A and B are shown apart, each in its own frame.
Chain A
Amino acid sequence: MSKPRSDAKLLNLPPKVEDQICDWLNYGIDGDTKYETVREKIYEKFNIRTSVGALYEFYRQIAAPRRLAKAAAAAGNLKEEASARGAHFKEASLAVLQQKGFEILAQQHTDPKELVAFFGMILDADRLAIDKQKVELQRDRFEFSAAKAALKHVRELKIISSDKSLNEEAKIEAVRERLFGKAPGK
């Protein structure tokens, strides 16, 4: 009985093995996408002997088309990623980011995980900007409440201010208590 051709072996692999080989060819092994490196790795990991020619054919027929589909899926997932991280992009901005992300993955040997990590940085920057806005809003609200309370108690505050029996620290404490009540634990 004749041995199966090495390219035939590669074109009839279990899905998990096929996925792994696609990833090695598309994104490299520690950045190395050479056929020879991948060929050795396939033998080491799956005990499958193949040729560079067969590997090229596998890349042409299976791995390269899959890279596009995987790129599209990864770029599509950025929307959920944004939502999970609480980022608030406008729909149009997100669409532009997704399209650009797809193009990066489609053109280069960029692992989708790297894109997600990069996108995560953008999302975190967006979240930090939102957090900063929230802090500013809280400060504005506090200042407004403090001003409102001060107006309400203006006469009492004047009395505290002119009370010569109190030192500076005691005056501040008295004003604070007058405006906001007793501090917790006091």
Chain B
Amino acid sequence: MTAEIKRQILLTLKQCQPFALPEKTLHYQVNFAIRPPINEDELAEFLISMRSQKLIDFILDDLDESVRKWHITEAGKALLQK
């Protein structure tokens, strides 16, 4: 399940390139694809873990710095192609 969620996060962010997806929208989008759905805290844990693996990264919103917007990295794209 963990691998499936990670893959879904990467797939979702890949579709957004070259733009970054706000975390809330990412949550909504990922939950469309996985069963059972995950909550916001669970998603945040995945995101932090994947960021530490340099598969994804985030930028902060210009107007609201509490909003993180995620994008896939080259390493993330490479992992998807494996």
Contacts and interface: CB of A to CB of B under 8 A. Distances in A.
* Bound together: yes
Interface of A: 59-61, 64-65, 68-69, 71-72, 75-76, 96, 98-99, 102-103, 106-107
Interface in B3-17: 11-12, 15-17
Contacts, number: 49
Nearest to B24: A107
Contacts of B62: 96
Contacts of A59: 32
Given A96-B62, A106-B21, A106-B25, A72 B33 contact: no
Given A60-B32, A60-B33, A96-B62, A68 B15 contact: yes
Given A72-B15, A76-B18, 5 more contacts: A64-B29, A68-B12, A106-B16, A106-B22, A106-B25
B64 to A, nearest CB: 12
Interface of B: 11-12, 15-22, 24-25, 29, 32-33, 62, 69
Given A96-B62, A103-B25, A106-B25, A72 B32 contact: no
12 contacts: A60-B33, A64-B29, A65-B12, A65-B29, A68-B15, A68-B21, A69-B15, A72-B19, A76-B18, A99-B19, A99-B20, A106-B21
A98 B33 contact: no
A76 B15 CA distance: 13
A107 to B, nearest CB: 5
A96 B11 CA distance: 24
Contacts of A107: 22, 24-25
Contacts of A96: 62
B29 to A, nearest CB: 7
Nearest to A98: B19
B11 A65 contact: yes
B18 A72 contact: yes
Contacts of B12: 65, 68
A59 B17 CA distance: 21
A102 B16 contact: yes
Nearest to A61: B33
Contacts of A65: 11-12, 15, 29, 33
A72 B25 contact: no
A101 B42 CA distance: 28
A96 B59 CA distance: 12
